[in-house]
Structure 1
Amino acid sequence: MFIAHLPAGYLWTCWFLRRRFVADVPSSWYWKLMALGLVGSLLPDLDVFYFYFIDLRQRLHHGYWTHIPLYWFLLFMLSLMAALILKKLGLRSAMVVLFFNVCLHLVLDTIVGKMRWLAPFSSRDFVMFDVPAQYAWWIWNFILHWSFFLRLSSLPGQECYLPFRCE
């Protein structure tokens, strides 16, 4: 999903911060949490560099560890336990924002991209809608698919959140 991850991460993080679900975090942290949310919404796609430059597009990049939910869950649990042991509320809030944006990314990828939600226990792919390969340049297959317009529809809703304010 080319254009959905960053806008969706922005909207979700705005909603999260506006609802004050971030417990006892000073307002100076809000911009840091927003930045972390945006990074989290893109984090699973860091494997694209490996996909293009090392693996040379041999396997679908959704099969790499950055797209395996269990790894993110374990990382989240470890960091959350560390934050609780150290009694760092800011770190706990940061991990929640980061993890939920990563999860949002993975859910959005499931709409038209194959995801292995049960990995490493199963190699079964989950996808809501298949995008048929009709065009030589693979990007056209996604841009001209109806789901691309679904992604575009999320963009106007962001006007109500620009510029980001925590009031």
Structure 2
Amino acid sequence: MFIAHLPAGYLISRFIARGRPAQSDAILATGIVCSVLPDFDLAYFYLVDGRQTPHHGYWTHTPLFWLVVATVLALMLTMSGRRNQLVLVWVGLANVMLHLLMDSVAADIRWLHPFSDLRVNLVHVPALYKPWYLNFLFHWTFVAELLIVLSAAVAAAIDWRRWRGRAVAVPAIR
């Protein structure tokens, strides 16, 4: 996927936040950040690696890494008595896994790494155009991305209207 990670993260986080109104802001913020977290490796890809290794081959695009991170965070929160924040760990993990699942549509993701080097890719995007990103923009899978973006835009517009119409408690002045 190319542009739909953040909108998809918004949609899944919005769904989870509806069941927890007291934590909805934290859930949305965590989910949105974590929906693009695996792609933070692009800084390394461009600035250090010199684009030598496909960025989907880095450890930030392997599920086991994120499962370990989530487990460590969950243990730390549990041991520190902050169990009410465990939902944020699971929201973050759900968004990272959604990111990897979406990447598996048109990019190689090593779901079983380090146990296997099997790369999962549902659709091959042929390299027909230059610059490289046109191959993704002109591929039929981009329509799915546009639908996700449109769905998130509609949901955000609904949320914005609800938020603006919300009554704000103002303390009475005597």
Under a length normalisation based on structure 1, what TM-score does the superposition of the two structures give? 0.89
The amino acid across from 1:32 in the alignment is A
Note the C-alpha offset of 1:161: 4.1
- The separation in 1 between residues aligned to 2:27 and 2:16, in whole angstroms, is 10
4+ residue runs of structure 1 moved beyond 3 angstroms? Answer: 164-167
The answer to whether the 8 A contact 1:116-1:126 is kept is yes
Report the number of matched residues. Answer: 161
Q: Is it true that 1:139 corresponds to 2:140 in the alignment? A: no
Indicate the residue corresponding to 2:155 in structure 1: 160
Query: Structure 2 residue aligned with 1:48, among 42, 60, 71?
Result: 42
Unaligned runs of 5+ in 1: none
Distance 1:43 1:93 in 2: 17
Please tell me whether Structure 1 or Structure 2 has the larger radius of gyration of its CA atoms. 2
Is the Cα–Cα contact under 8 Å of residues 11 and 155 in structure 2 kept in the other structure?
Answer: no
Distance in 1, Cα, partners of 2:37 & 2:119: 20
Letter in 1 for 2:38: P
Could you tell me how far apart the structure 1 residues matched to 2:58 and 2:85 are? Answer: 27
- The alpha carbon displacement at 1:79 in A equals 1.1
Q: Is the 8 A contact 1:68 1:117 kept in 2?
A: yes
Q: How far does the alpha carbon of each residue in 1:107-138 deviate from its partner, in whole angstroms, 9 at most, with x for none?
A: 00000011000111111111000000111211
Consecutive unaligned residues of structure 2, counting only runs of 5 or more, are: 167-174
Equivalent in the alignment of 1:149:
143
